[in-house]
Amino acid sequence: MKAIETKGLTKFYGKARGVENVDLSVEEGEIFGFIGPNGAGKSTTIRTLLGLIGKSGGEASVLGMDIEKDKEKILREVGYLPSEAAFYGGMRVSDVLEFSAKLRKKDCREEAKRLASRLDLDLSRKVGELSLGNRKKVGIVAAMQHRPRLYILDEPTSGLDPLIQREFFDLLGERSAEGATVFLSSHVLTEIGRHCARAGILREGRLIREDSVDRLVGTGVKRVTLSGASALPELDGIKDLKVAGASASFLYSGRPDELVRALAKLEFTDMTLTDPDIEDVFMHYYAKEGE
Amino acid sequence: MTLFLHELKRDRVKLIVWTAVITFMLSVSIFIYPQMTSQMGEMGEMFSEMGGFSEAFNMDKINFGEFSGYFAVECGNVLGLGGGFFAALLGIAALAKEEREHTAEFLLTHPVSRTYVVAWKLAAVIAEVLILNIAVALCALLSSLAIGEKLDAKLFFNVFLGYFIMQTEIACVMFGLSAFLRGNGLGVGLGAAFALYFMNIIANLTDDAEFLRYITPFSYADGTAIVANGGIEVKYMIPGIAFALIGAAAAFVKYGRKDIRA
């Protein structure tokens, strides 16, 4: 069964575009990355899947259930972490988590304690007094304490320090090993590269690629770095050009023989040709020609 | 039920403060009655003969020198206006505050339907209005007994029932409006409560504005009118109940399909 499947999913806010014709397919049990810059429509897609906003067109199902007809059944199986988690100001962390558990008709106190201790979160603090990072931790515990089948996480690591980020991804790894699906939306590409097997790239409301992270990376693009170059090669298909002193670096997606011929006309002292990292892939899909 | 208790807990300070203030003011008004009557003498007549002013507050229809008349006027001022504002504030905030405080996303990604959310929030608003009125009624009763005045039980019940229904109507209408709002509706709530209060005053002043009595709930919940007529005027209350039902229904329909912003 697919954990998430959308066909032509479309959402317009009045005339403003949210997402258009998104065909997404996430297998149960996988960790799926959802990449895109701010405003690409990542949150809109997620919020539509969760029934916070109504779709304008297309179809979508979560864990085999229709997002409109079976909304509550879906929400029972989902743990959602919003990008900016907000809670009821006057309440203590433990009260917020208990309220969340009660709305799910579950007793999650033990699990909440365990998660809070791993994330170094004080349950007795008032949520109104928490820093952004600590609020995020409350969101993480609320999304995980009921042990859902599907985790939908929107920019989960913003505000978390590196140690807690690692603990968080360890937790996710454990849940994934138990069979849960993780849908991780982020613009931190190293995060996606490190933790996800597959990813979808969203650009201006449209899903432009959905593939394994390995294949997204090996998409025929190379990063070329030249040291001490007298000039830049005259080539089509150069993107993300960075010049720092006598060193120039760019992404090249054309024919390799043309690259070699163009480079042969230049003088330079050193050269490296590497597979792009996920940041480079992102640029490949996003940067306009010649930039 | 979880959400209902959660709402009561969230609003507890607001409820306690408003109840305390209204109870205190009404009790003070009752406690100064003996002193006032001893000094007033013929002033009761004067109060009822101040032309437009007396008419505006229905003081021409009752005897201000009698406790029931005095009680009706004071109750109208304190519980009518205070309770009306409290109900308006509660109703207008109930749904909109979740989006304003960005907690809607948290609440609505739990396995609860929008209908569940609207129903329990509405129930909490009505319960809070009821709690306020019961507390105020009890204190009014005890204060009256303390000064040795007895109110006719039926009249007393009718006055408080009128105010409770009036506040529930305002709360329901504002609650319906709340479903359409995203920001702070406080101004709308208070403004509407004020407008409705003045509609009743205008209707008292001129017969040409009789139609206003069918619009404002302050007409059927006017303590002085209830004392003067011996009960609530049902013909003014029926449209009020209809407005309340429309408000509540609007909340269910609108909130059920509303796009919740982040």
- pLDDT of B46 reads 65
Task: Enter the tokens of residue A50.
Answer: 């969760």
Q: How confident is the model at residue A76 (pLDDT cuts 50, 70, 90)?
A: very high
Q: CA torsion sign, B201 to B202 to B205 to B206? A: negative
Q: How confident is the model at residue B201 (pLDDT cuts 50, 70, 90)?
A: confident
Nearest chain B CA: its distance from A117 CA (Å): 22
Mean pLDDT of A102-116: 95
Q: A154-163, A173-182, B130-139, B144-153: which range is least confident on average? A: B144-153
Summarised one tens digit per residue, pLDDT across range A56-72 is: 999 999 999 999 999 99
Share of chain B above pLDDT 70, in %: 90
Chain A hits for B262, Cβ within 8 Å: 43, 47, 82-84
Summarised one tens digit per residue, pLDDT across range A189-207 is: 778 888 999 999 998 899 9
What value does the CA radius of gyration of chain A take, rounded to a whole number of Å? Answer: 22
Q: Write the DSSP symbol of residue A92.
A: B
Residue to test with chain A: of B109, B113, B259, most A Cβ within 10 A: B109
Residue to test with chain A: of B9, B110, B258, most A Cβ within 10 A: B110
Task: Enter the tokens of residue A158.
Answer: 């913003």
- pLDDT of B245 reads 96
Q: A2-6, A117-121, B74-78, B106-110: which range is least confident on average? A: B74-78
- pLDDT of B183 reads 77
| Residue A145 three-state SS | coil
Q: Chain B residue closest to A142 (CA)?
A: B106
Task: Enter the tokens of residue A290.
Answer: 């010649």
Mean of all residue pLDDT scores within chain B: 86
C-alpha–C-alpha distance, residues B34 and B42, integer Å: 15
Quick check: A86 and B101 CB within 8 A? yes
Residue A75 has its nearest CB partner, among B109, B260, B262, at B109
- pLDDT of A290 reads 40
- pLDDT of B166 reads 92
Q: A169-178, B11-20, B36-45: which range is least confident on average? A: B36-45
Q: Is A43 on the interface with B (CB under 8 A)?
A: yes
Q: How confident is the model at residue A291 (pLDDT cuts 50, 70, 90)?
A: very low
Mean pLDDT of A130-143: 95
Q: How confident is the model at residue B57 (pLDDT cuts 50, 70, 90)?
A: low
Is the per-residue pLDDT at B162 higher than 60? yes
Q: How confident is the model at residue B6 (pLDDT cuts 50, 70, 90)?
A: very high
Summarised one tens digit per residue, pLDDT across range A219-242 is: 667 889 999 887 888 888 788 788
Q: A109-118, B112-121, B139-148, B151-160: which range is least confident on average? A: B151-160
pTM of the model: 0.85
Q: How confident is the model at residue A289 (pLDDT cuts 50, 70, 90)?
A: very low
pLDDT higher at A112 or B78: A112
Domain ranges of chain B: 2-32+70-256
Q: Is A71 on the interface with B (CB under 8 A)?
A: yes
| Residue B103 three-state SS | coil
Measured in whole angstroms, the distance separating CA A90 from the mean position of its chain's CA atoms is: 31
- pLDDT of B53 reads 65
Measured in whole angstroms, the distance separating CA A162 from the mean position of its chain's CA atoms is: 17
SS3 annotation, A200-247: EEEECCEEEEEEEHHHHHCCCCEEEEEECCCCCCCCCCEEEEEEECCE
Is the per-residue pLDDT at B52 higher than 80? no
C-alpha–C-alpha distance, residues B182 and B188, integer Å: 12
B1: number of CA atoms within 13 Å, CB side? 1
- pLDDT of A288 reads 46
Long-range contacts of A98-104 (CB under 8 A, 24+ apart): A99/B2, A99/B6, A100/A142, A100/A145, A100/A146, A100/B106, A100/B110, A101/A145, A101/A146, A102/B2, A103/B2, A103/B3, A103/B107, A103/B110, A103/B111, A103/B112, A104/A76, A104/A146, A104/B110, A104/B111
- pLDDT of B49 reads 67
ipTM of this predicted structure: 0.85
C-alpha–C-alpha distance, residues B157 and A85, integer Å: 47
Domains of chain A: 2-216 (3.40.50.300), 218-286 (3.30.70)
- List residues in chain B touching A: CB distance below 8 A: 2-3, 6, 10, 101-113, 257, 259-260, 262
Q: B43-47, B96-100, B174-178: which range is least confident on average? A: B43-47
Summarised one tens digit per residue, pLDDT across range B34-50 is: 887 777 666 666 666 66
Residue B105 has its nearest CB partner, among A54, A82, A99, at A82
Q: Is A88 on the interface with B (CB under 8 A)?
A: yes
Mean of all residue pLDDT scores within chain A: 89
C-alpha–C-alpha distance, residues A51 and A71, integer Å: 6
Is the per-residue pLDDT at A4 higher than 60? yes
Q: A86-100, B31-45, B46-60, B234-248: which range is least confident on average? A: B46-60
Beta strands in A28-140, from DSSP E residues, in sequence order: 31-35, 57-62, 65-66, 78-81
